[in-house]
């Protein structure tokens, strides 16, 4: 029987865990076992249908493993015997392990809607061949209905309408699209960008049934409206892929994620770790269970797993929640709490807002207006969250805000922020919106 120091089960976060292990323990033999022939970049899946043109342009090259001394077995793991530390594979001999990592990711949620099993109804799966087939159908479609107005649904809508003469409709149960991630004013701005390019958005609507013969032909809503549809995309979220772990007797927690501690070790077995969408998470702010599934969280956990395999010392702080997306050229990003979430949790907050061009002067080519909103604790002045909309710099600005949240920086700390600036690259140091938003908040905090 073949044996490795570390066996990793899974895809993208598993790659990061393997690389991290090799960096910290270069003498260890690491084998990744995965069912998929090709690993897709999950966040890039919507862009297969427009910007990048196909799944072949949205993959993680296997050369990354070879260059880091990691072995790859393309096969399906059928079972894990913890007593003998053995993994049974479908087409290979069993593999023994000293340490095992579950990085099995997530599976799309398929709601129990009548007709959901009809052809041309597509959950968003992370499968190369499957997405090739979906792309072919989308290219020939006339009416696409997307169920779910979160990031996945909105990105699919924006991409599908780009390169195809097609009617696109997004159906969302909540009052606004993107409400799980952003405050109302940012949701409204994003929805307007979408409707301005011809996408129809129906909010406060619930799908009652998918109608037609063998293939879907229409979507009937609970309100009585009927939407023509020759393709339906389900973008309502994902759930942990934890069935193999459950079969191995590992304890599951919130939403059936593999239960782990802050070192990313499973509660059930000190020699088995887990990272990414398949395992449980807690909020950075209050320690409550979190259902957030993000690549940024998964790779952070994976780096910690790799470091902790043989000498646990790194500690996962909890989920901050850092999001970014782009709709018709306008970027939207959030780090930490939204104002809505803070109020729902009974927190007393101070809000600071600022706007500025992302160049100085604003007349520079391709200049975009940046809008920034920061949330601080009214008692301590510590940053709890921030939102940004603007150009491409939005993504990095929310990353900066995430670092500020992680290190519990206060409004005064951000006021003292020293930024590097350049006329073509950043806002003016006089009008830098993160700093100016903090300056406005400081005044309110001091008054309190």
Instruction: Convert the pLDDT of each residue in 52-111 to its tens digit.
Output: 989 999 998 888 899 999 999 999 999 999 999 999 999 999 999 999 999 999 999 999
How far is it, in rounded angstroms, from Cα 362 to Cα 433? 13
Q: Euclidean distance between the first and final Cα of the chain, in Å?
A: 68
Q: Is the peptide bond before 361 cis (omega within 30 degrees of 0)?
A: yes
How far is it, in rounded angstroms, from Cα 339 to Cα 323? 15
Residue whose C-alpha is closest to residue 277's, from 269, 260, 263: 260
Task: Establish whether domains 121-233 and 329-447 are of one fold.
Answer: no
Instruction: Answer whether residue 444 shows pLDDT above 90.
Output: no
Tell me the CATH class for 2-35+75-107+239-308.
alpha beta
Instruction: Answer whether residue 37 shows pLDDT above 90.
Output: no
- Domain range summary for the chain, segments of one domain joined by +: 2-35+75-107+239-308, 121-233, 329-447
List pLDDT tens digits, range 414-423. Answer: 999 999 999 9
How far is it, in rounded angstroms, from Cα 218 to Cα 209? 9
Phi-psi category of residue 99: left, alpha or beta, with phi > 0 → left and psi -120 to 50 → alpha: beta
How far is it, in rounded angstroms, from Cα 298 to Cα 9? 14
Mean predicted lDDT score pLDDT of the chain:
95
How far is it, in rounded angstroms, from Cα 152 to Cα 43? 9
What confidence tier does 196 reach under pLDDT thresholds 50, 70, 90? very high
Give 24's contacts (C-beta < 8 A, 6+ positions apart): 306, 307, 309, 310
How far is it, in rounded angstroms, from Cα 304 to Cα 282? 15
Topology adopted by domain 121-233:
FAD/NAD(P)-binding domain (3.50.50)
Return the DSSP state at 92.
S
Residue whose C-alpha is closest to residue 290's, from 260, 319, 258: 319
Predicted model pTM: 0.94
List pLDDT tens digits, range 252-295. Answer: 999 999 999 999 999 999 999 999 999 999 999 999 999 999 99
Report the pLDDT value the prediction gives residue 179, as an integer from 0 to 100: 95
Residue 245 sits at the vertex; the CA angle it makes with 23 and 299, to the nearest 5 degrees, is 35
Report the pLDDT value the prediction gives residue 164, as an integer from 0 to 100: 65
Question: Residue with structure tokens 């600071």?
Answer: 352
Residue 298 sits at the vertex; the CA angle it makes with 9 and 294, to the nearest 5 degrees, is 125
Task: Give me 191's structure tokens.
Answer: 């929805």
CA dihedral (347, 350, 353, 358) positive or negative:
negative
Instruction: Answer whether residue 387 shows pLDDT above 90.
Output: yes
Residue range 121-137: average pLDDT?
A: 95
Q: Domain spanning 329-447: which superfamily?
A: FAD/NAD-linked reductase, C-terminal dimerisation domain (3.30.390.30)
């Amino acid at each position: 029987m073949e044996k490795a120091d570390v066996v990793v089960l899974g895809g993208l976060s598993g790659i990061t865990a393997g690389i991290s292990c090799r960096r910290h323990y270069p003498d260890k033999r690491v084998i990744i076992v995965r069912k998929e022939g090709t690993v897709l970049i999950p966040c890039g899946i919507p862009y297969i249908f427009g910007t990048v043109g196909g799944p072949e342009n949205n993959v993680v090259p296997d050369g990354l493993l070879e260059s880091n001394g990691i072995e790859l077995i393309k096969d399906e793991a059928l079972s894990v015997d913890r007593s003998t530390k053995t993994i049974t594979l479908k087409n290979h001999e069993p593999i023994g392990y000293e340490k095992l990592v579950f990085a099995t990711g997530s599976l799309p949620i398929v709601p129990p809607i009548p007709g959901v099993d009809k052809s041309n109804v597509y959950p968003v799966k992370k499968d190369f061949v499957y997405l090739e087939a979906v792309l072919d159908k989308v290219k020939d479609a006339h009416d696409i209905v997307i169920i779910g107005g979160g990031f996945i649904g909105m990105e699919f809508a924006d991409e599908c309408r780009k390169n195809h003469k097609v009617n696109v409709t997004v159906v969302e149960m909540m009052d606004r699209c993107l409400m799980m991630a952003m405050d109302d004013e940012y949701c409204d701005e994003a929805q307007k960008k979408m409707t301005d390019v011809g996408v129809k958005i129906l909010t406060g609507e619930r799908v009652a049934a998918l109608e037609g013969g063998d293939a879907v032909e229409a979507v009937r809503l609970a309100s009585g409206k009927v939407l023509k549809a020759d393709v339906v995309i389900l973008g309502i979220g994902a759930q942990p892929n934890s069935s193999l772990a459950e079969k191995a007797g590992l304890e599951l927690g919130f939403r059936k994620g593999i239960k782990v501690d802050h070192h990313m070790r499973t509660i059930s077995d000190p020699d088995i770790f887990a990272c990414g969408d398949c395992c449980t998470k807690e909020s950075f702010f209050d320690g409550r269970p979190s259902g957030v599934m993000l690549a940024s969280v998964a790779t952070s956990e994976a780096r910690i797993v790799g470091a902790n395999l043989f000498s646990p010392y790194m500690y996962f702080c909890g989920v901050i929640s850092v999001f970014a997306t782009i709709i018709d050229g306008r970027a939207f990003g959030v780090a930490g709490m939204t104002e809505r979430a803070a109020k729902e949790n009974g927190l007393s907050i101070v809000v600071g807002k600022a706007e500025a061009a992302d160049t100085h002067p604003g007349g520079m080519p391709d200049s975009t207006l940046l809008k920034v909103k920061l949330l601080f604790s009214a008692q301590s002045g510590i940053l709890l969250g921030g939102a940004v909309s603007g150009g491409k710099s939005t993504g990095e600005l929310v990353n900066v805000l995430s670092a500020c949240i992680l290190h519990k920086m206060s409004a005064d700390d951000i006021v003292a922020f020293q930024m590097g600036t350049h006329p073509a690259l950043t806002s003016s140091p006089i009008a830098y919106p993160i700093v100016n938003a903090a300056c406005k908040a400081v005044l309110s905090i001091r008054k309190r």
